[in-house]
Amino acid sequence: MLLAIDIGNTQTVIGLFAGPDDDFEPDGNRADGAIDTDLVDHWRIATQSERTSDEHALVIQEFLGFHGFSFDDDIDGIAISSVVPRSTAAFREMTHKYFGFRPVVIEPGVKTGLPILTENPREVGADRIANAVAALDLTSGPAIVIDFGTATTFDALSSRGEYLGGVIAPGLEISLDALYTRAAALRRVELVEPRGVIGRTTVDSIQNGAVFGTAGMVDGICDRIAAELGTPTVIATGGLATLVAPHTRAIDRVEPWLTLHGLRLVFRRNAST
Report, as residue numbers or ranges, the catalytic residues. Answer: 127
Question: Which DSSP category does 99 fall into?
Answer: I
Residue 177 neighbours by CB under 8 Å, 6+ apart:
none
Alpha-carbon distance of 245 to 236, in angstroms, equals 7
Please check whether residue 140 is in contact with residue 127, taking contact to mean a CB–CB distance below 8 angstroms. no
Which helix or strand (DSSP H or E) is residue 167 part of?
A: strand 163-170
Please check whether residue 118 is in contact with residue 38, taking contact to mean a CB–CB distance below 8 angstroms. no
Please check whether residue 85 is in contact with residue 9, taking contact to mean a CB–CB distance below 8 angstroms. no
The closest alpha carbon to 180, from 213, 217, 148, 210, belongs to 210
In a 3-state reduction of DSSP, which class is residue 253? strand
